[in-house]
Amino acid sequence: MHLKSLTLKGFKSFASATTLRLEPGITCVVGPNGSGKSNVVDAISWVLGEQGAKALRGGKMEDVIFAGTSGRAPLGRAEVTLTIDNSDGALPIEYSEVSITRRMFRDGAGEYEINGAHCRLLDIQELLSDSGIGREMHVIVGQGQLDSVLQSKPEDRRAYIEEAAGVLKHRKRKEKALRKLDAMQANLTRLTDLTAELR
Ligand code: ATP
C-alpha cells in the first residue's frame, strides 16, 4: 500500500486542479518560501478528516477554501482527493485503488466520498484504522512538532506509542460501546420507572 496521488482543487493556494503523483519511496516537495509546500501536507491531513482549523494553520475551517488573489476571484469550495494503491489488499476493501475525497463549501457544509460514493467520516476512519494512516495517527509530523514529541511528558509519549501500536482503534471502540451502555442504562431506568408507575 502506498499513496499514489493527491489532487487539490480550490484548496488553499491551489485554485486550479493540481495533481501530485507519488511513487513508492521518498517524495520531496521543493519550492520557494510561501509557494504552498506545507499546504500540500495540510491537504493530506484535511482529506483524512482533520477537524481543527488550527492544525491546518488557519483561523476557521473556511480558510482552507481558496480566498482569491489580485488576479483571481475567491472560490466557493475546496476539494481534495487522496488516491491510495491497495493492490496488496492492505485496506479492507475490494478495490486495488482507493480514492478518498473531502469537499467543503463556504456555508460550512461538507462531504466525504470513498471511490466516488458518499460516505461518513467514520467510514473513512474505519477503513484506514489498521493501515497506520489516519487523522490521529501521527503520520504527519509538522514543523516544530518533533521537538514537542521529544520534550513531552512520559504519559503523553506513551499515548503516541499506543497510537502507533494500533491501540487507538480499540480505545475508540471501547468508548463507543461504553456510550451505548450508558444510553441503554438510562433507557432501562426509565422503563423501570414507567413500570412502577403503571403498577
Ligand atoms: P515555507 O517554505 O515558508 O514554509 P511553504 O511553501 O510551506 O512556505 P505554505 O505555507 O504552504 O508555503 O503556503 C503559504 C501560501 O499559501 C501563502 O502565500 C498564503 O497566502 C497561501 N494561502 C493559504 N491559504 C490560502 C487560501 N485560503 N487562499 C489562497 N491562498 C492561501
DSSP secondary structure letters along 77-95: EEEEEEEEE-TT--SSSS-
pLDDT, tens only, 23-49: 999 999 999 999 999 999 999 999 999
Are 84 and 97 in contact by the 8 Å Cβ rule? The answer is yes
Q: In angstroms, rounded to a whole number, what is the distance separating the alpha carbons of residues 29 and 89?
A: 28
2-11, 76-85, 125-134: range with lowest mean pLDDT: 125-134
The arrangement of strands across the sheet holding 97-105 comes to 18-21, 2-9, 77-85, 97-105, 110-114, 117-119
- Residue 163: how many other CB atoms lie within 10 Å: 18
Give the mutation target among 9, 11, 12 for probing the ligand 1 site: most ligand atoms within 8 A of CB.
Answer: 12
Question: From the CA of 33, how far away is ligand 1's center (Å)?
Answer: 8
Predicted pLDDT of residue 166: 72
Predicted pLDDT of residue 161: 79
Checking ipTM against 0.90, whether it exceeds it is yes
* Ligand 1 in reach of 34 Cβ (< 6 A): yes
Which is the closest atom of ligand 1 to the Cα of 58? 24
What crossing angle do the helices spanning 154-164 and 167-198 adopt, rounded to 10°?
Answer: 90
**AA letter at 89:** G
Q: How far is CA 118 from the centre of its chain?
A: 16
Burial of 80 (0-12, 13-18, 19+ CB in 10 A): buried
pLDDT, tens only, 64-105: 999 999 999 999 999 999 999 999 998 999 999 999 999 999
Helices (H), 108-166: 121-128, 145-151, 154-164
Predicted pLDDT of residue 29: 92
Select the more confidently predicted residue: 170 or 41.
41
Which is the closest atom of ligand 1 to the Cα of 69? 29
Of 93, 95, 60, 66, the C-alpha closest to 80 is 66
pLDDT, tens only, 133-160: 765 656 777 777 778 788 889 988 887 7
Number of DSSP helices (H) and strands (E) in the chain, helices first: 5, 6
Are 1 and 90 in contact by the 8 Å Cβ rule? The answer is yes
- Residue 47 has φ and ψ, to the nearest 5°, of -65, -25
| Average confidence score pLDDT of the chain | 91
**Max avg pLDDT among 65-79, 118-132, 161-175:** 65-79
Residue with cell 504552498: 36
